[in-house]
Amino acid sequence: MIYVVRRLLASIITLFLASFFVFFAVQALPGDVAQQLLGQNATPEAVETLREKLGLNQGIWTRYFDWLGSAVRGDLGTSLVSGEPVSTTLWTAFTHTLLIAIPAMIIGIAISVLLGVWAAARRGRRADNTISVLSLITMSIPEFVVATVLIIVFAIAIPIFPAVVLQGPSASFSDLFPAMWLPIATLVFSMVAYIIRSTRSSTIDGLTTEYATTAELKGVKRRVVLLRHVLPTAMLPVLPVISINVAWLLGGVVVTETVFNYPGVGKLMIDSVSTRDLPVLQAIALLSACVYVLVNLAADLLALLLDPRQRTSGRASKRQRPDPALEAKTSEASG
Amino acid sequence: MSQPGASLIDSRFGEQVAVVQDLTISYRAGDRNVVVAQDVSFTLNEGETVGLVGESGSGKSTVARTLLGHLRPGSKIDNGTVTVLGRDMFTLGERELRDMRGRQVAIVPQNAGQSLTPSMRVGGQIQESLKLHGLRHDPARIAEFADLVRLPTPEEIIQRYPHELSGGQQQRIAIAMAIATDPQVMVLDEPTTALDVITQGAVLALIQELRERLNMSILIVSHDLGVVSAIADNVIVLNKGVATERGAARDVLTAPRAAYTKRLLAAAPRLHPAPGEPEPEPIPFDDHAPTLLRCVGVDIRYPRAISLAVRNFQIDIREGETVAIVGESGSGKSTVAHAIAGLLGVEHGEAVITAADHRSQDLRQPVRKRPPVVRRSVQMIFQNADLALNPRRSIGDSVARPLRLFKRTRSRVETKQRVGTLLTEVGLTEQFARRVPGQLSGGQRQRIGIARALAAEPRLLIADEITTALDVSVQADVLRLLDELQERHGLSCLFISHDLAVVKSVAHRIVVMKEGYVVESGPAAAILDDPRHPYTRALLDSVVEPGVERLPSVDIEQRVRRVDASAAMVDVASGHLVRADVGADL
Amino acid sequence: MSLATTVRSASDLGLVTLVGIAMVVITVVLAVLSPVLSPYDPIASNADAALMGSSWAHWLGTDAYGRDVLSRTLYGGRFALVVSVLATTICVALGALIGALAAFYEGWIDGAITRVLDAVLAVPAVLWLLLIVSVFGSGTWVIVVAIAAVYTPAVARVTRGAARPVMRSAYVVAAQSRGEMSLPIIVREVFPNILDTILVEYAMRACWVILLVSTLSFLGFGVNPPNPDWGLMIQENRTALVVAPMGTLSPIIALAVLVVGLNLAADGLGKYLGVDRAMRGVA
């Protein structure tokens, strides 16, 4: 329990620091931000109005805490471009992103864990070699290439799916439904390789442990050894890899959404970069950081569920410290 | 050799249950074929216990595991057969093999801590064995087995996960798991190697009890001649995969015929002389030598720890003297070594050494705050020589480092010469300077560890379990070398060990520790021949030795009580101090 | 190292690794020699020769502006390669240093470093890059520094993970018991033992940087048109894919050869050095 509380505290600090970095990175814009945003030809009045709007006449720390304080209350400011509240725009985009990210996440994790375990069980044989080579190649192909190829095949050559979303951010679910499958496929393709590789590697380690051998020598079937004895522990090091990928999926998949013109957070990000809509960019970064922290927290809690060693509170921290008695024992055993 | 175990046919036992015939096993390493076992044959009869002994690399584990039809990946059988209960284990189909494993032949693996599945409750793991082979597997039945292996509160303990048990308890669970299906053959693969002395004694006694009760045939694998001696009827000595000697345990381990067995027995440290040998003279020591190290009332705590690791520790080491600290894991013996070496600070008390400048210097500070002359005066030799040498640095570089750090040599040429001298002094040659640790054997690495400690020209050597990871024959050589060097350089030594027999061969005085307290200390002969504290007695009672068939009582662990925090140290004879705990003979 | 041992260790690397290295070397050599090898000026447009298929004059055809695809493909890796070498070198050097320091100073310094690293990692790399590019513009140096800054925490985390067990190893304890200072312990004892991890990390990082740079160009924030770049070429030519497929396919193939080669080399190197890199996710 103490562990969970400490973990929560650390998450909050991480979020706070991330917000700090994002804010100051944006504020580091050289020269007068308002002038920069409006260009050299802007009238002094226009610049002054923008300065007022951005609160540039106040100190930077005041602005930071104002921004953070409003953000905590759900007020992320107003877009410089549309003049609408950022939170509304961002929320709409985020629901669109979830629509492709969640199916991609479920399908991607299922496929990759399955393939990873399968490859490990068939280590060194044809299935393993095929999976390993394919995942290495998958890893080497950038997302935008995958998206482009999928469009060529499934939207142009065999026109089953629309190539791009034609409706903008106001698209309804029925508009998006036919157009979400190619983005989902792209995302699945882009994430599976890493999870497959780590699952395979960790499962192979698990299969060579003494407890796996002991179980086999008890007369347990190989498949049962794999599923019951090896997998729960072998998944532990895979969890962080999965959580990184999930955070990436939820935090805005810029490339995929751009290629398919899909109105999610990633597309919003790209649009805001070209219009230099700083409040929106800051809000997106904050959202991504929240997602990252939450997903990591979820992964840690899942690890707690999978690993009884971490559950026994206090012991986990004890294991961190070098214990001469323990060391003596392990070396005696190796003698 | 062609007649399987001809000499082992023994009227005391029933029918043959397992026959290993002309077994040759090898694996490929690069382009070479490495033979693990060659033409090994033996028979295991009903109710018989056969011991398979040998040093590391003898192939003993590999041979034993063939009884379960198991080979390590990459190994293959070149010749021979393994028949258990009339079935050839390596021609069985997958299903038949699974039915044999666990049901007819069971194994208690080497390190229970690593052999139990960490994500499953221990009861569930016993249950799995039972269920698999269609036996009764309700919780009450599982608790019965936990009770059979003498685990306290069986119903509660089977609900725990492996990491929540002590090493001894884990081993008992592994035994319970193996016997639950009432197998005819049980393979014990180094079953007590990872355990403390008293726990080892209790587990061996338990195995003995169970084998009589369940009438099992047992194949026990061990590097420890004492363990085999205690429970085996017949033994086979393996050397580099070849069976060099076989026969009744008593004969082989008291009157060996093969040269290899003789060497092995001669090298084994003993508490009691081998039958027919005279009791060795106690190691003489001049009582009037000046004191080198003095610790009084020392308390040690790990950084940020709640409780003290060592309390009120007391020791005097005179010049040229070897004082041993013995105790089980967690007794605080290594903590003391680390504190004197300066890896931990002393929280309270007095710790003084007469340093190399002949001045009295404080040792309470951690190493970073000690003046160079103090740092140089205390040098540590580490328990695991392979880990204590940087794998990426040459031997010469490792040995030269203290020479430069403590300015023992002035020029590059002088350093090189000195490294050469040091290497020769520890029984190696100058050529070793160019090698890296990976190219050396375990014994050679430990010699480098000694050379590196000597390079600083210390006054006190701290030897922390330096022979634990070594085979007995290598261990004897290293101990002899240490003794020689100590004599030659007039060094004192603080010798940390869990092995009383090893301690007997080197120590002038002995300190026994338990739970962070000193429970008894005094001249080696007094401690070993006239122990007064119940814990010291339990330790001595638990020792198993080659040629001795006696085992400690099965409840020896229960006899060990906790240390009374308020008890005082009482001087019972000149310099023989005993902690006044319940049961101490004052 | 003598020639004989070098040759033997090369064969120990395994065929697949050597193929990987060869793929990287070929791509790099072609990019370096592109001014010599290119039949045309990569940015010279020719309205009369737009979107032509393969011919003797233009082996890989031309794009919508009539520019020679072969020449643009040969030139197209230069930017990504230069940025990749610079950014990877900076982030690996900096990350290794920070990671080693965090591992060395356990306790609050380590805690503080870890929190800061985590905070940077909490915002996705692409978002950081877009933020930085939108603030500072997309000059070569901005991109180099931005990528280096964004990947440094990830390298630091990996290095810290590798250095922690080394810090606890008996040979470091032995050095501490001699009273060695911090610097000699890091330089003599720790660094040589995490070098393997750092090397593999370098190869792997280089891969990701190349992918990231082409992604940036594809999104329009990297190389400015009309300069040639694989990511940009894929973006420009994909609409004309049916008419002149080579305009899109050749940069894709070139990019794939380079990155697959790097991945194979990193994998083989990792296996050879005993570093398991499959346990890392994309970061």
Q: What is the 3-state secondary structure (H, E, C) of B483-541?
A: HHHHHHHCCEEEEEECCHHHHHHHCCEEEEEECCEEEEEEEHHHHHHCCCCHHHHHHHH
pLDDT at A28: 66
Q: Which chains touch A (3 or more CB pairs under 8 A)?
A: B, C
Using DSSP bridges, classify how beta strands B322-326 and B346-354 pair: parallel, antiparallel or unpaired: unpaired
C135, C217, C250: best to mutate for the A interface, most A CBs within 10 A: C135
- Closest of B381, B417, B419 to residue B399, by C-alpha: B419
pLDDT of residue B312: 92
pLDDT at B217 over 90: yes
How many Å apart are CA B5 and CA B18, to the nearest integer? 11
| Nearest CA-CA distance, residue B106 and chain A, Å | 7
Whether residue B94 contacts residue B30, with contact meaning beta carbons closer than 8 Å, is answered with: no
CB B565 within 8 A of CB B299: no
Provide mean pLDDT across the span B211-221. Answer: 91
Nearest chain C residue (CA) to A254: C126
Q: Which helix (H) or strand (E) holds B127?
A: helix B122-132
- Flag whether pLDDT at B256 surpasses 70: yes
Report the alpha-carbon angle A307-A309-A310, nearest 5. Answer: 75
d(CA C7, CA C5) in angstroms, rounded, equals 5
For residue B529, is it within any domain?
yes
pLDDT of A333 strictly over 60: no
Lay out the sheet containing B310-318: strands in order across. Answer: B310-318, B291-300, B346-354, B360-362
Contacts of A159 in chain C (CB under 8 A): none
Contact call for C179 and B387, based on CB within 8 A? no
Nearest to C171 among B370, B372, B390 (CB): B390
| Residue with the two structure tokens 């007590």 | B192
The candidate with the shortest Cα–Cα distance to B69, out of B93, B51, B52, is B93
In the stretch 15-54 of chain A, residues with CB closer than 8 A to chain C read 15-18, 20-22, 25-26, 28-30
Q: In this structure, what token pair is assigned to residue B201?
A: 């004694």
| pLDDT value of residue A319 | 32
Mean pLDDT computed over every residue of chain B: 89
Summarize the confidence of residues B346-360 as an average pLDDT. Answer: 89
pLDDT higher than 60, residue A318:
no
Q: Quick one: pLDDT band at residue A33, thresholds 50, 70, 90?
A: low
C171 vs B368: CB contact, 8 Å cut-off?
no
Average pLDDT, chain A: 82
Q: What is the mean pLDDT of residues B545-566?
A: 81
Which regions of chain C are under pLDDT 50? Answer: 1-7, 280-283
Q: Rounded to an integer, what distance in angstroms lies between the CA atom of residue B325 and that of residue B335?
A: 11
- Tokens representing B59? 């192939």
Residues C196, C182: Cα–Cα separation, whole Å: 21
* Superfamily classification of domain A93-275: MetI-like (1.10.3720.10)
B101, A218 contact by CB (below 8 A): yes
Choose the mutation target among B89, B117, B513 for the interface with A, i.e. most A CBs under 10 Å. B117
Q: Which residue of B has its CA nearest to C181?
A: B368
C-alpha distance from B425 to closest chain C C-alpha (Å): 21
Q: Per the CB < 8 Å rule, is B177 touching A218?
A: yes
pLDDT in tens, A203-237: 999 999 999 999 999 999 999 999 999 999 999 98
C-alpha pair distances (Å), A167 with each of A164, A250, B10, B401: 9, 22, 91, 72
Å between C166 CA and nearest CA of chain B: 10
Token pair belonging to A296: 């990591």
| Alpha-carbon gap: B338 to the closest alpha carbon of chain A (Å) | 9
Say yes or no to pLDDT of A247 above 70.
yes
A233 and B128 within 8 Å at the Cβ level: the answer is no
Q: Both tokens of residue A108?
A: 């991607």
Return the number of other C-beta atoms located less than 10 Å from residue B364's C-beta.
Answer: 18
Mutate to test the interface with C, among A20, A32, A144 (most CBs of C within 10 A): A144
Quick one: pLDDT band at residue B551, thresholds 50, 70, 90? confident
Shortest distance between the Cα of B465 and any Cα of chain C, in A, equals 13
Which of A211, A217, A232 is nearest residue B70 as measured by Cβ atoms? Answer: A217
Q: How many domains does chain B have?
A: 1
> Using the beta-carbon criterion (under 8 Å), do A329 and B329 form an inter-chain contact?
yes
CA-based angle C62:C64:C68, to the nearest 5?
25
* Size of chain C in residues: 283
Among the residue ranges A162-171, A298-307, C9-18, the one predicted with the least confidence is C9-18
Packing angle of the helix pair A86-121, A126-140 (nearest 10 deg) = 150
Is pLDDT above 70 for A328?
no
Chain B residues within 8 A of A217 when measuring between CB atoms:
65, 68, 70, 101-102, 106-107, 109
Asked if B343 lies within 8 A of C177 by C-beta distance, the reply is: yes
CA dihedral B367, B372, B375, B377 (to 10 degrees): -160
Give dist(CA B17, CA B563) in Å, integer. Answer: 48
Q: Do B468 and A333 touch (CB under 8 A)?
A: no
**Per-residue model confidence (pLDDT) at position B585:** 84
> Closest Cα to residue B280, out of B294, B269, B291, B290?
B269
Who contacts A109 (Cβ-Cβ below 8 Å, separation ≥6)?
A195, A242, A246
pLDDT at A325: 31
Instruction: Determine which helix (DSSP H) or strand (DSSP E) holds B565, and give its type and residue range.
Output: none
pLDDT at residue A279, rounded to an integer: 85
User: Would strands B310-318 and B360-362 be described as parallel, antiparallel, or unpaired?
Assistant: unpaired
Q: What is the pLDDT of residues B96-150, one digit of tens each?
A: 999 999 899 999 998 888 999 999 999 999 999 999 998 999 999 999 999 998 8
SS3 A144: helix
Please report whether residue B63 resides in a domain.
Answer: no
Domain boundaries, chain A: 93-275
DSSP annotation of A157 reads I
Q: Which of B338, B387, B390 to mutate to test the interface with C (most CBs of C within 10 A)?
A: B390
What is the domain-level CATH number for residue B367? 3.40.50.300
Model confidence pLDDT, tens digit, residues B430-469: 999 998 888 888 889 999 999 999 999 999 999 998 988 8
Does 3.40.50.720 match the CATH number of domain C60-279? no
Please tell me the least confidently modeled range out of B297-306, B543-552, C208-217.
B543-552
Question: In A, residues 73-132, which contact C (CB 8 Å cutoff)?
Answer: none
Q: Give the helix, strand, coil percentages of chain B, each rounded to 5.
A: 35, 25, 40
Q: Across the interface, do B387 and C176 touch by the CB < 8 Å criterion?
A: no
CB B79: neighbour CB atoms within 10 A?
12
pLDDT digits (tens, 9 = 90+) for B376-419: 999 999 988 778 999 888 999 999 999 999 989 989 999 999 99
Give the number of A-B residue pairs with CB atoms closer than 8 Å: 122
How far apart are alpha carbons B461 and B466 in whole angstroms?
11
pLDDT value of position A36: 65
Which one of A145, A242, A271 would you mutate to disrupt binding with C, by most C Cβ within 10 Å of its Cβ? A145
Give the list of residues 6+ apart from residue C270 with CB closer than 8 angstroms, or none.
C200, C276, C277
What range does the domain containing B507 cover? Answer: 291-579
Cα A300–A196–A202 angle (5° rounding)? 60
Residue listed under structure tokens 């409040």: A279
User: What's the burial of A210, exposed, middle or buried (CB within 10 Å: 0-12/13-18/19+)?
Assistant: middle
- B411: which DSSP letter? S
The confidence score (pLDDT) of residue C10 equals: 58
